[in-house]
Amino acid sequence: MNEQANNWGTERMDGPSYRPRRLRSNAIWRDALADVTLKPAQLIYPMFVRLGKDLRRPVASMPEVDQWSPDRLVERVTELMGQGLQQIMLFGVVDQDEKDAVGSVAWDAERSPVIAAMQAIRQSGIGPDQLVIHADLCFCEYTDHGHCGALTNEGSWGGSCGGGCGEGVKSEKLKVKSGGSAKPQAAGTRAGQSRGGNMWGGVDNDVTLGMLAKQAVALVRGGADVVAPSGMMDGMVGAIREALDSAPDGNGNGFSQVPIMSYAIKYASSMYGPFRDAGEGAPGHGDRKGYQMDYRRSDEWAIELALDESEGADIVMVKPAGTYLDVISQVRQATALPLAAYHVSGEYSMIHAAAERGWLDLQASAIETTLAIRRAGADLVLTYFAPRLLGWMKEGAL
């Protein structure tokens, strides 16, 4: 008898006949019945590369994440491959004076840090059968305005800020074409938004498609095994597929064998905050709500999924992951395509920050969060925790 309970005057009651706790009572049962698992091959590690030599620059808002020069990136990748790493995603970081209105550095093999890194990896003898290189395909890290494509005339600049000016100053310099049929956006807190007009949503979709096509071919020529368009332009998958298939390379079929992993379902999220530190691609003005999805709409993912499937996406992605598990789960039910989910910078840094304060256990919460993303239905998880997770797998902790 439980005397402590008796002392409080409570009585043992007749319990239920079925008790789920029976199978939780033994670690062997728990392991045997755990069907949500994680393999090293399912992890994609996002990495940041910038031109230079012997560079390793820590990202202040993302513990254990760095910007690497190509030579150091090769060393780091080699080290992590020893832990089981098989897939990486590359993001390029360039100095402000390399940026222009269209982000032309992105398709320039002489100036693109991503292309330099891919070449360095391949020259070191690491083949595609050992490491799959995904190349992020967007322009926000390369344009001087920080948006994911070329701006429309409505959104274009009256002048260049040279990168150092604040938001308020920038909005004064904008040439705003008011009127027309452009619908004012919902009231925003940004200086520019409050003026109404569509200037902030102003990335020119179809001009950007041509730019994406050009960058995709350059990235694949540079060694990308997978291209991953992230800019949420309408028609981006179709345009990239067509450009790759018709590129004057390969055996008469262009790059028809190169898969596209589309950031198909990507929400405009506050969770990307630390990434902008890492990629140095924060929009100089406005936000990305004019092209990324609105998290207040519960069914729009179905439209984006259907379009990307019809345009030939090989893998579809949901981003962010940890705060969009419901979306991952629904997309999983709706498609047979492989599904990736991106556990983004803010989700990563929150766990680190809490762990630093002793409020969460880093290992336990990182593993639980990653397995939750898998349980929701993701085949592949893009995560900055990849090095840690691989280490914990080696130790047998997951």
Applying CB under 5 A, the residues found at the interface with Zn ion are 138, 140, 148, 231
To Zn ion, the closest distance from the beta carbon of 144 in angstroms equals 14
CA 130, CA 40: separation in Å to the nearest integer? 12
To Zn ion, the closest distance from the beta carbon of 151 in angstroms equals 13
To Zn ion, the closest distance from the beta carbon of 75 in angstroms equals 28
Per DSSP, helices labelled H in the chain are 3-7, 27-33, 70-81, 113-123, 167-173, 205-221, 236-245, 273-279, 300-311, 325-334, 345-356, 362-376, 386-395
Interior angle at CA 269, CA 206 and CA 177, nearest 5: 45
User: Residue 50 or 352: which CB sits closer to Zn ion?
Assistant: 50
To Zn ion, the closest distance from the beta carbon of 355 in angstroms equals 29
Give the single-character DSSP code of 24. G
CA 129, CA 114: separation in Å to the nearest integer? 19
Task: Reply yes or no on whether 183 is catalytic.
Answer: no
Interior angle at CA 267, CA 300 and CA 344, nearest 5: 140
User: Residue 131 or 148: which CB sits closer to Zn ion?
Assistant: 148
Q: Any idea how long the chain is?
A: 398
Query: Which residues on neighbouring strands pair with residue 232, listed in sequence order?
Result: none
User: Residue 131 or 340: which CB sits closer to Zn ion?
Assistant: 340
Q: 53 by DSSP, 3-state: which?
A: coil
| Cβ–Cβ under 8 Å, residues 337 and 314 | yes
Question: Which backbone phi and psi does 358 adopt, to 5 degrees?
Answer: 80, 15
- CB crowding 32-70: b at 16 or more within 10 Å, else e: eeeeeebebebbbbbbbbbbbeebeeebebbbebbbbbb
To Zn ion, the closest distance from the beta carbon of 262 in angstroms equals 13
Task: Reply yes or no on whether 177 is catalytic.
Answer: no
- Residue 367's closest CA among 34, 22, 130? 34
Tokens of 181: 């049929």
Catalytic residue among 177, 266, 289, 394: 266
Tokens of 52: 């230079």
Catalytic residue among 39, 99, 214, 319: 319
CA 198, CA 189: separation in Å to the nearest integer? 15
To Zn ion, the closest distance from the beta carbon of 336 in angstroms equals 28
- List the catalytic residues: 266, 319
